[in-house]
């Protein structure tokens, strides 16, 4: 982390705190979407024509809302013609970036194995890989370009952090092999093989990894009906337990192995609208074939991406997506991500990955070689908080992450500190490109090879940093206040210090941690 000169540090920070404090408080309150709760919100696709009709700044905000959700980002110096200034931003091209993302998400990565090898070689030793099964997916999403293969891994990451497929690493019956199995085999590999939602759910339910999460026939069968069908019928649980009576999980002494005994049920049970469920395989098949599976899975995902919407609005969005009869998980994800409602109106709080990796892609941030182990190491009390302290531990909770990002005072204080220290105020100083131990945003962020940033006035440079972090230009008041801080501390010709000061200010803005909305979006 770059130190501000000690004699000026307190004064600079106090100025910035004064600018950002009131705005930061807003994040600790619930975000309210700008919808009429009685309007019947739908997941209507945002068309290419809709996107192209937006202003340059609106296009940038929409592009980065989509990309940040995917843990990627569009740098401002690529999106705008910096030499024309940023008081009235001009696009660098008329390319439809929304269509570009769609195309990328459908295109296989030709050098996939090279990128996967790079991730393991850069961030993990051979000995540490099994112990970092929760960190490897996050590191992979940092390194792998947007592609069909990337999209599969991103979907798997979201699903394995959700109630649907969480490995529940926090439980003593779960270990790293379960995380690896669910993420890589049940999800990523299944996506690559074109497996349907029904096929993926059935394979997962019959697995040892699933039984290590819900250990008894009673617990497992109840949870499968509630999680995958949103069916809460207590009377059906004893019947399902009879069908699964010969399935059980051994205890700790036998390493929690899934066993299938000889006491197989032979009497058909009537549940889930069927009268032919005899054994556990029949029970799982009935869930996988049930009419409520697709609506329930859709609802589970809508509840994540529209967490701050009312229940009535989420139901309406879910119904509009389920009406399209999605067959594959990507059908549901794409319906959400490319909807007008999501891209225009949803002011959702960002997850840690969306803020870190999404903004990181916009400011040319470099992850140091121990970064993803460090953020996932569950070591409370370290100088840089980890995801456990932020209460966004990946793949850990029995019922998945909360749909709403935790914003209690302590969790958000850790969130803010981690992002501020690891991302915004951490500048990569090394001139050795092979030094993987020095992380932070690179000098190319404020001095790209094009040299276009050098043409920006001080006001436009402030706009540039703001666009790169909160997807909007600075207000006149912000330009005036920040320029005064630069002048008071003799930083008027020091772009490095100007960048750090603006980004320190940004770290205190509530909007930095939320997705922007488009005025008049419908």
What is the extent of the structural domain holding 48? 6-91+349-377+399-513
Decide if pLDDT at 29 tops 90. Answer: no
Q: Is pLDDT above 60 for 458?
A: yes
pLDDT of residue 422 exceeding 70, the answer is yes
Helix, coil or strand: residue 277: strand
| Within a domain: 383 | no
Query: DSSP string of 289-353?
Result: H-TTHHHHHHHHHHHHHTTTS-HHHHHHHHHHHHTT---SHHHHHHHHHTBHIIIII--PBPPHH
In a domain, 260, yes or no: no
Specify if 46 maps to a domain.
yes
What SS3 class is residue 185? helix
In a domain, 394, yes or no: no
Q: 509, 354, 506, 494: which is closest to 2 by C-alpha?
A: 494
Query: What's CA 175's distance to the chain center, in Å?
Result: 23
440: Cβ contacts below 8 Å, ≥ 6 apart: 1, 365, 366, 368, 426, 427, 428, 429
Nearest to 99 by CA among 61, 58, 49, 43: 49
Q: What is the pLDDT of residues 161-194, one digit of tens each?
A: 999 999 999 999 999 999 999 999 999 999 999 9
Q: Which residue has the higher pLDDT, 278 or 9?
A: 278
Contact 221, 241 (CB under 8 A): yes
Q: Are strands 365-366 and 274-277 parallel, antiparallel or unpaired?
A: unpaired
How far is residue 450's CA from residue 77's CA, in Å, rounded to a whole number? Answer: 9
Q: For 37-88, what is each residue's pLDDT tens digit?
A: 445 799 999 999 999 999 999 999 999 999 999 999 999 999 999 999 999 9
Q: How many residues does the chain have?
A: 522
Instruction: Count CB-CB contacts under 10 A for residue 225.
Output: 24
Mean local confidence (pLDDT), 248-268: 96
H or E, element range at 499:
helix 495-506
Contact 159, 151 (CB under 8 A): no
483 has a pLDDT exceeding 90: yes
Query: DSSP per residue over 417-455, as a string?
Result: HHHIIIIIS-B---S-TT-TT--EE-GGGTS-TT-GGGG
| Residue 32 confidence (pLDDT) | 45
Instruction: Please give the helix or strand (H or E) that residue 505 lies within, else none.
Output: helix 495-506
Residue 271's SS3 state is strand
Residue 298 lies inside a defined structural domain of this protein: no
Is residue 465 in some structural domain?
yes
CA distances from 423 to 1, 246, 384 (A): 9, 51, 11
Q: Is residue 204 part of a domain?
A: no
CA-based R_g, the chain, Å: 24
Using an 8 Å Cβ cutoff, are 301 and 342 in contact?
A: no
**Structure confidence by residue, pLDDT tens digits, 357-409:** 999 999 999 999 999 999 987 766 666 799 999 999 999 999 999 999 999 99
What the block records as the tokens of 435 is 């030094």
pLDDT of 509 > 70? The answer is yes
H helices within 449-492, ranges in order? 458-470, 476-488
Q: What is the pLDDT of residue 81?
A: 94
CA atoms within 13 A on the CB side of 450: 14
Number of domains in the chain: 1
Per-chain mean pLDDT for the chain: 91
Contact 478, 466 (CB under 8 A): yes
Q: What DSSP letter does each residue of 139-169 carry, written as one string?
A: HHHHHSPSSHHHHHHHHHHHHHTSTTT---T
Q: At 339, phi and psi to the nearest 5? A: -80, 150
Q: Which of 379, 402, 377 is nearest to 391 (CA)?
A: 402
Q: What is the DSSP string of 204-244?
A: HHTSHHHHHHS-SHHHHHHHHHHHHH----TTHHHHHHHHT
Whether 118 maps to a domain, the answer reads no
- If one counts every other C-beta atom within 10 angstroms of the C-beta of residue 247, the result is 22
Question: Would you say 328 and 196 are in contact if contact means Cβ atoms under 8 Å apart?
Answer: yes
């Amino acid at each position: 982390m770059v130190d501000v000169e000690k004699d000026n540090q307190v004064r600079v920070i106090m100025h910035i705190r004064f600018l950002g404090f009131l705005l930061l408080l807003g994040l600790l309150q619930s975000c309210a979407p700008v919808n009429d709760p009685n309007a019947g919100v739908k997941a209507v696709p945002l068309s290419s024509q809709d996107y192209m009709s937006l202003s340059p700044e609106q296009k940038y905000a929409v592009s980065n809302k989509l990309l940040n959700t995917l843990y990627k980002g569009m740098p401002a110096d690529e999106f705008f013609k910096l030499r024309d200034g940023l008081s009235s931003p001009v696009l660098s091209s008329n390319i439809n970036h929304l269509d570009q993302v769609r195309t990328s998400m459908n295109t296989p990565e030709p050098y996939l194995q090279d990128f996967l090898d790079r991730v393991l070689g850069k961030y993990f030793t051979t000995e540490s890989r099994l112990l970092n099964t929760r960190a490897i997916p996050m590191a992979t999403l940092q390194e792998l370009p947007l592609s069909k293969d990337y999209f599969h891994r991103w979907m798997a990451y979201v699903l394995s952090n959700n109630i649907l497929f969480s490995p529940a690493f926090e439980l003593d019956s779960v270990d790293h092999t379960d995380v690896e199995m669910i993420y890589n085999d049940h999800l990523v590999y299944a996506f690559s093989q074109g497996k349907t939602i029904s096929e993926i759910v059935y394979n997962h339910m019959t697995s040892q990894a699933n039984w290590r999460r819900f250990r008894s026939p009673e617990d497992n069968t109840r949870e499968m009906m509630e999680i995958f069908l949103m069916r809460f019928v207590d009377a059906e649980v004893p019947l399902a337990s009879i069908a699964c009576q010969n399935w059980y999980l051994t205890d700790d002494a036998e390493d929690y192995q899934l066993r299938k005994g000889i006491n197989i049920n032979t009497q058909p049970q009537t549940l889930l609208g069927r009268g032919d469920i005899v054994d556990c395989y029949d029970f799982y098949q009935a869930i996988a074939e049930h009419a409520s599976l697709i609506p329930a899975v859709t609802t589970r995902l809508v509840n994540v991406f529209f967490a701050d919407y009312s229940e009535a609005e989420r139901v309406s969005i879910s119904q509009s997506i389920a009406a399209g009869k999605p067959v594959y998980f990507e059908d549901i994800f794409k319906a959400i991500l490319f909807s007008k409602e999501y891209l225009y109106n949803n002011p959702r709080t960002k997850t840690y990955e969306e803020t870190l990796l999404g903004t990181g892609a916009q400011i040319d941030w470099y992850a140091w070689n121990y970064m993803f182990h460090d953020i996932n190491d569950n070591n409370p009390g370290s100088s840089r908080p980890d995801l456990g302290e932020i209460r966004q531990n990946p793949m850990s909770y029995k019922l998945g992450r909360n749909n709403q990002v935790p914003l209690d005072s302590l969790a958000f204080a850790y969130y803010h500190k981690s992002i501020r220290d690891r991302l915004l105020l951490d500048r990569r100083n090394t001139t050795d490109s092979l030094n993987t131990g020095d992380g932070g945003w690179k000098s190319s962020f404020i001095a790209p090879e094009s040299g276009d940033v050098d043409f920006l006035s001080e006001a436009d440079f402030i706009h540039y940093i703001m666009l790169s972090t909160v997807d909007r230009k600075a207000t006149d008041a912000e330009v005036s206040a920040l320029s005064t801080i630069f002048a008071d501390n003799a930083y008027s010709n020091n772009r490095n210090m100007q960048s750090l000061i603006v980004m320190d200010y940004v770290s205190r803005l509530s909007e930095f941690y939320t997705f922007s909305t488009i005025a008049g979006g419908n």
